[in-house]
Structure 1
Amino acid sequence: MMRHDVRAACVAVGFAAGSILGTAALAESAELQDLLSKFQESYGFPGATAAIALPDGEIVTAATGLADVEANRPMAPDTPMLAASIGKSFVAATVLSLESEGVVSRADLVSDHLGGFDWFARLPNHATMTVGDLLRHGAGLPDHVHLESFQIEMAGRMGSGAAAFTPEEAIAFILDADPLFEAGAGWAYTDTGYLLLGLVIEAASGRSYYDLVSERFLDPLGLADTRPSNIRMLDGLAAGYVAEDNPFGLPPRTMDAQGTLLWDPAMEWTGGGLVSTSSDLSAWGQALFTGRAMDVPYLDRLLDSVSVSPDAPDILYGAGVAIYSQTSRGPVYGHGGWIPGYVSSLRHYADHGVTVAFQINTDVGIADDSTDLVPALEAALADLAVAMAGADGSEE
């Protein structure tokens, strides 16, 4: 079995720069390392990283397996991967930050900001959807990513090495489509809606989204390993692996031998649009869901949510956050992420004050739900994180 270099794996860091590891921290890191390695051996994925942010500010990290199978490069705790839709939490936070300044409101009609685009009137529910509807996936918009027409054209672009879809090109796949429901009357996950949010952010602020998210969150919170995934060569990126029959026509290894992605991740933009590490993601979740990501109150707006289904009344969606309101561990806030070759998870256990993140450099068996890897790993990491918080005496 592939095993990770222990020297790189057993690492724990705090929020503050220069924190020194004690005996307890080393033991916690060893526990996390052991859990992650057992999952790698059982499920056979190439590699993974995980991080647990504890209430006292400590972040425990570990890694297992390989970041690059062909090159035999070990996965390290600071190996970056594409964070995919976890990036939506940064997009939503940026909207809430701008709302605090009076630049935009969740109650605004999207047409107030984007009505000048010549294609806007061809969007489903163009006259009635609000910014808040987009934040909560309640605008009744289809998701271009899962349309066959998009997948066929994306496969063609990948094969020819063409540039990424621009936001407007991606949005064009749903123009003239029927709405899934009236705006505000239901829930349907849509990356297309978050591309529209990106355009709203830039139209309302007159600034680049990536500049705003860096200035407001990445830099102030010290998320130095989180950056835009808008180029094909991303330093240190783990190689991603997909199934041979994936819908985008990608080869099983999604980057070349030099580390350049075979597809342009810039197409994701505000649908996700970030490369990150499990450590940074856990630090972000800990700050965001404990109310420390901004200087102004925002948690009530972040958690203002709608039900995702009448059959699952305890599962809600707020502003870029999935909410599991009643679990055996209390309320859980977070987001998942999938993009060809990479899977990520971010979960905050509010009653225990801990945040857990992990990243895996394959989507084989995960994209088609043929394995229980993700929920099983989430559950095991939650148990470990809660135990760590209790052992540290930091649980309320």
Structure 2
Amino acid sequence: MRSRLLRTVTASALTVSLAVAAAFPAAAAATPSAAWSGTEARRAQLQQLARKLVDAGAPGVIVRVDDGRGRPVEIAEQATWTRRDHLLKVGDEFRMGSNTKTMMATLVLQLVAEGKLALTDPVERWLPGKVPNGKAITLRMLLNHTSGLFDYTEDAAVRPSILGKDRRRWTPAELLAVGVKHDPLSAPGTEWSYSNTGYAAIGAVLERVTGRSLADLVRDRIARPLGLNHTYFATDSTWRGPHAHGYELDAAHMPPSVPAEFRHFAGARRNGHVDVSGNAPGWGGAAGAVVSTTQDWARFSTALTSGKLLPAAQLAQMRTTVPVDPRQPDGPGYGLGIQTGPTPCGTFWGHDGGMPGYLTTSVTDRTGSRTATVLISTEFWSEFGGAPKIAKAAQALQSAVICTMFGKPVPAAAHAG
């Protein structure tokens, strides 16, 4: 089994849906309490779960939930020892990790609507000679992870950047070259396999077709039109506004399950942790380099799923999914830069993202009228395991957040978490 750290731009595409499903044994039997109808009561429930997650070892947690019926619930909780670095606020910027893929897919589909690209285009057309068997790999396959390409984050050349020791500015072409020097994992279009290399190729195609950088495309086609003042494609470690600090355990405190080559992060030492928020995220590229806030991302999610950013035909293409697990054709699915999954409280659309110091889950309903985001300011626990208390508390919070977004009672299992 491949380690999730070796796909570190993303938390697994199954994370949200499986975590929610696992946390729901009592959901069907849960009944609304007398206080359920009040926003403050819902906020108190979620704040308690966020606090439990911090008590379990998470340095910080941000939650924003909008059920479309009134004022959003916004929560920020942090460990006492982190206050010397910053006071965590709901509006802080943070690294979105693989949520970036949703924006990249949006950019591609905008160009499809303009007649400048087609989902059936072979990658060879736009990147001649850059991708082996490129005539058989379409843009659609790159976007929905059926290209079969090896994941560049598994290559040792990228590891120093992941750990914050190499601050080079990776280009999409460079990241793509790292991935394609390995043999493919499967024939194009035959099976689903998460590949950040596919999105490195997408980034290179976007730059080739438009003649512009990914940072400019995100700014001019998405951030500025929507008024997203704290959303941008990061090429270095610079933050543009107040930001959440992200932490990972230092080498002495990491669980034994973490291999030696992944135990040493660059950054200032804090209370058995390393502050990794000054490390450059550029190695994430088109697969994971976007920075945003909970408010900005909610606005983006609403605009996208309500049809403001894409015509109906392209939005339908984005939502055309393939099963993440072929044994569960009606289970979690992956579309074009977006994932979906059923839960007892409703079917979500969205993505998740993992980058050292930042683990995010961002979801919405099909109409975009309901949105939710959870940030946990540490990510390594989700890669090699070894932090069962954090995992249990995170699962409980994510489950409760999704139910709150759908206007449903928080399941009894989440309260028990």
Find the counterpart in structure 1 of residue 230 from structure 2.
225
Find the counterpart in structure 2 of residue 249 from structure 1.
264
Structure 1 Cα separation of the partners of residues 318 and 220 of structure 2? 20
Find the counterpart in structure 2 of residue 4 from structure 1.
none
> Could you say what the CA RMSD is over the residues aligned between the two structures, in angstroms?
3.0
Structure 2 Cα separation of the partners of residues 297 and 363 of structure 1? 36
CA 1:57/1:86 → structure 2, altered by over 3 Å: closer, same or farther? farther
Contact 2:265 2:276 in 1 (8 A): no
CA 1:124/1:353 → structure 2, altered by over 3 Å: closer, same or farther? same
Q: CA deviation at 1:105?
A: 0.8
Find the counterpart in structure 1 of residue 401 from structure 2.
381
Question: 3-state DSSP class of the match of 1:34?
Answer: helix
Find the counterpart in structure 1 of residue 281 from structure 2.
265
Q: List gaps (5 residues or longer) in structure 2.
A: 1-36, 252-257, 411-417
Find the counterpart in structure 2 of residue 74 from structure 1.
87
**CA deviation string 1:323-351 (max 9, x = no partner):** 11x33223221111000111100112338
**CA deviation string 1:242-268 (max 9, x = no partner):** 13356273147589xxx9955322222
Report the AA paired with residue 87 of structure 2.
Answer: P
Aligned pair partner of 1:315 in 332, 336, 345: 332
How many residues get paired?
355
Q: Choose 238-247 or 210-219, whichever is displaced more.
A: 238-247
Find the counterpart in structure 2 of residue 240 from structure 1.
246
Aligned pair partner of 2:140 in 125, 132, 149: 132
Aligned pair partner of 1:96 in 109, 125, 128: 109
Q: How do 1:1-396 residues align onto structure 2 when only pairs under 5 Å count?
A: 27=40, 30-31=43-44, 34-56=47-69, 58-65=71-78, 69=82, 71-115=84-128, 120=130, 123-151=131-159, 153-154=160-161, 158-159=164-165, 161-234=166-239, 235-245=241-251, 247=262, 249-251=264-266, 253=268, 261-294=277-310, 297-313=313-329, 314-324=331-341, 326-350=342-366, 353-370=369-386, 371-387=391-407
CA 1:128/1:213 → structure 2, altered by over 3 Å: closer, same or farther? same
**CA deviation string 1:25-60 (max 9, x = no partner):** 973784366245433344231111111133357543
Question: 3-state DSSP class of the match of 2:247?
Answer: coil
Question: 3-state DSSP class of the match of 1:387?
Answer: coil
Question: 3-state DSSP class of the match of 2:121?
Answer: coil
CA 1:67/1:206 → structure 2, altered by over 3 Å: closer, same or farther? farther
Structure 2 Cα separation of the partners of residues 43 and 252 of structure 1? 23
TM-score by length of 2: 0.76
Q: CA deviation at 1:103?
A: 0.7
Q: Choose 26-35 or 188-197, whichever is displaced more.
A: 26-35
Q: CA deviation at 1:125?
A: 3.1
Structure 2 Cα separation of the partners of residues 185 and 91 of structure 1? 23
Report the AA paired with residue 356 of structure 1.
Answer: A
Query: Share of identical aligned residues, percent?
Result: 25
Q: Choose 48-57 or 96-105, whichever is displaced more.
A: 48-57
Question: 3-state DSSP class of the match of 2:193?
Answer: coil
